[in-house]
A and B are shown apart, each in its own frame.
Chain A
Amino acid sequence: MQNSAFFHFLTLLLFKQRSKHIGAVLISVIIIFLLSSVLFISSSLQYSLMDTLEGEADFSVSRIQAGKAVNTPVEWMEKIMEINGISGLTSRVYGRYFFAPRERSFLIVGVDLFDEQNSRQMQKLAERLDLKAFLSEESMLVGEGVKKFLEKHYYKSYFTFKTPQGRFKKVKIVQMLPSQANLVANDIIIMPIDLAREIFGISEDEVTNITFNVPNDAEWDNIVAKLHLLFYDVRVVEKREIKKAYENLYNYKGGLFLILYLVTIVTFILILYQRYSMVYSTERKEIGILRAVGWSIREILKLKFYENLIIVLVSFLLGVVFAYLYVFIWDAPLLSRIFLGGANLSNHVEFVPVVKFGLLGSIFLFYAVPFLAAVLIPAWKIAVTPPKEAML
Chain B
Amino acid sequence: MIKPFLGWVAALLLCVGGVAVHYLAQGKHAQEEVRQVVRVTGLPVPSLSVAYYEPRVLFYENAANPAYPQMQIINRMDLVYAK
Contacts and interface: CB of A to CB of B under 8 A. Distances in A.
Interface of A: 7-8, 11-12, 14-15, 45, 48-49, 51-53, 55-57, 60, 62, 67-69, 90, 92, 94, 96, 98, 103, 105, 107, 109, 111, 118, 121-122, 124-125, 143, 145, 177-178, 180-188, 190, 209, 211, 237, 241-242, 244-245, 248-249, 252, 314, 317-318, 320-321, 324-325, 328-329, 337, 340-347, 350, 352-353, 355
B41 A188 contact: yes
Interface string B20-42: 00110010101101111111111
Nearest to B38: A52
Contacts of B23: 324, 328, 353, 355
A181 B37 contact: yes
B51 interface: yes
Dominant SS among interface residues on chain B? loop
26 contacts: A51-B28, A53-B44, A56-B38, A122-B40, A124-B39, A125-B37, A125-B40, A180-B33, A183-B47, A184-B46, A185-B37, A188-B47, A190-B40, A237-B59, A242-B59, A245-B83, A249-B58, A252-B77, A252-B81, A314-B12, A324-B19, A328-B23, A343-B50, A343-B54, A344-B48, A355-B23
A82 B34 CA distance: 33
A52 B35 contact: yes
A383 to B, nearest CB: 24
Contact of A321 (B16, B26, B44): B16
A15 B52 contact: no
A49 B44 CA distance: 7
A105 B43 CA distance: 17
A92 B77 CA distance: 25
A220 to B, nearest CB: 15
A318 B52 CA distance: 40
Interface string B52-75: 101011111110000000000001
Contacts of A105: 52, 56
A191 B48 CA distance: 20
A317 B16 CA distance: 7
A344 B12 contact: no
B46 A340 contact: yes
B35 to A, nearest CB: 6
Given A8-B1, A69-B61, A184-B34, A49 B46 contact: yes
B76 to A, nearest CB: 9
A181 B40 contact: no
A381 B11 CA distance: 36
A341 B48 contact: yes
Given A92-B43, A181-B34, A184-B37, 14 more contacts: A12-B2, A15-B5, A49-B46, A55-B35, A55-B42, A60-B60, A121-B39, A182-B47, A211-B42, A321-B16, A324-B22, A328-B22, A328-B26, A342-B49
Contacts of B41: 94, 109, 111, 184-185, 188, 190
Contact of B42 (A92, A252, A320, A321): A92
A314 B16 CA distance: 11
A212 B43 CA distance: 13
B22 to A, nearest CB: 7
A14 B8 CA distance: 12
A178 B62 CA distance: 30
A57 B44 CA distance: 10
A279 B67 CA distance: 57
A177 B47 CA distance: 13
A118 B42 CA distance: 10
B15 interface: yes
B83 A56 contact: no
A57 B60 CA distance: 13
A296 to B, nearest CB: 22
